[in-house]
Structure 1
Amino acid sequence: MKSLEKAADRLSQGLALIGSIGLLAMLVHVTLDVALRNFADTPIPATNEIVSRYYMVLIVFLPLAWVERQRTMITVEVMEMLLTPTGRRISDGAVALLATVIYAAIGWVTWAVALKNLSIGTFVDVLGHKVAVWPSYFLPTLGFFLAAAMTALRLVIIIAGPSAPAQEGAET
Structure 2
Amino acid sequence: MNSIERAADRVAQGLALVGAIGLMALLLHVAAEVLARNLLDRPIPATNEIVSRYYMVLIAFLPLAWVERSRAMISVEILDSFLPSPLLRLSDILVAVIACVIYAAIAWVTWGDAVKNYAAGTFVDVLGHALPVWPTYFLPPAGFLLAALVTALRGIQIARRP
TM-score (norm 1): 0.93
What is the identity, as a one-letter code, of the residue corresponding to 2:95? V
Q: Report how far residue 2 of structure 1 moved.
A: 0.7
Q: Does 1:117 align with 2:128?
A: no
The equivalent residue for 1:8 is 8
Deviation sequence 1:93-143 (CA, Å, 0-9, x none): 000000000000000000000000000000000110000000000000100
Q: Structure 2: which 5+ residue stretches go unaligned?
A: none
Aligned position for 1:169: none
1:161 aligns with 2:161: yes
Q: Per-residue deviation at 1:84?
A: 1.0
Q: Secondary structure at the match of 2:42?
A: coil
In 1, Cα distance between equivalents of 2:25 and 2:40: 21
Report matched runs for 1:4-43 at 5 Å.
4-43=4-43
AA aligned to 2:157 is: I
For 1:108, the equivalent position in structure 2 comes to 108
Whether 1:127 and 2:127 are equivalent positions in the alignment is yes
1:18 offset after TM fit, Å? 0.5
Whole-Å separation in 2 of the counterparts to 1:70 and 1:84: 25
State the match for 2:152 in structure 1: 152
Question: Residue 159 of structure 1: CA displacement?
Answer: 1.3
Q: CA deviation at 1:161?
A: 1.3
Percent of residue pairs bearing the same amino acid type: 63
> 2:20 & 2:10 partners in 1: Cα distance?
15
Q: Tell me the number of residue pairs that the alignment of Structure 1 and Structure 2 aligns.
A: 162
4+ residue runs over 6 A deviation: none
Please state if 1:72 is matched with 2:72: yes
Gaps of 5+ in 1: 163-172
The more displaced of 115-124 and 81-90 is 81-90
Partners in 2 of 1:93 and 1:118 — Cα distance?
Answer: 37
Paired residue secondary structure (1:77): coil
The DSSP-based 3-state class of the residue aligned with 1:75 is: coil
Partner of 1:165: none
Q: Specify the code of the residue in structure 2 equivalent to 1:151.
A: T
CA distance, structure 2, for counterparts of residue 7 and residue 44 of structure 1: 40
Partners of 2:159 and 2:8 lie apart in 1 by: 17
Alignment RMSD? 0.6
